[in-house]
Amino acid sequence: GAVVSQHPSWVICKSGTSVKIECRSLDFQATTMFWYRQFPKQSLMLMATSNEGSKATYEQGVEKDKFLINHASLTLSTLTVTSAHPEDSSFYICSATSTSSDTQYFGPGTRLTVL
C-alpha cells in the first residue's frame, strides 16, 4: 500500500512556542492531505483538509490561525501549531489520498506534549 511518513514522531515543547509537523507521501502524489487529532481513548477527529496549492479547509471549531497548514507540493503538507498550550497536547495524524481514490493512507502520527 501507499506509504505516508510524518516527522517528528514525538515532540515536547514549552507553552507559547510553535511546533511544525511534516507529512509526506513517499511513493505517490497526494492531491489531498488531511490532518486529524486524536485525544486519549477517543477516535480520530478531522481538523482540516489541505489541497496542494490552495488554502486549507478547516472543520468547525478548529482555529485556522492557530493550526497553520501549508500544502506546498504534491508530496508534502505541514501543520504548525502556533503558541501551543497544554490543551493542544494530543496525537496528530495526517493522511493522504491520490487523485481518484477514497482510501486514505495514514502517517504514523506525531505525539505532541506541551508543558
Q: Give the footprint of other proteins on this chain (CB under 8 A).
A: 1, 6, 31-32, 34, 36, 42-46, 49, 51, 59, 93, 95, 97-109
| Grid cell listed for 85 | 498550550
Maximum distance among all Cα pairs of the chain, rounded to whole angstroms: 41
In the complex, least distance from residue 112 CB atom to other proteins, rounded to whole angstroms: 14
Nearer to other proteins, 103 or 113 (CB): 103
Cβ at position 92, least distance to other proteins in Å = 10
Burial class of 99 by CB neighbour count within 10 A (0 to 12, 13 to 18, 19+): exposed
Nearer to other proteins, 14 or 40 (CB): 40
C-beta closer to other proteins: residue 13 or 46: 46
- Provide, rounded to whole angstroms, the least separation between the CB of residue 109 and other proteins: 4
Burial 51-81 (b: 16+ CB within 10 A, else e): ebeeebebeeebeeeebbbebeebbebbbeb
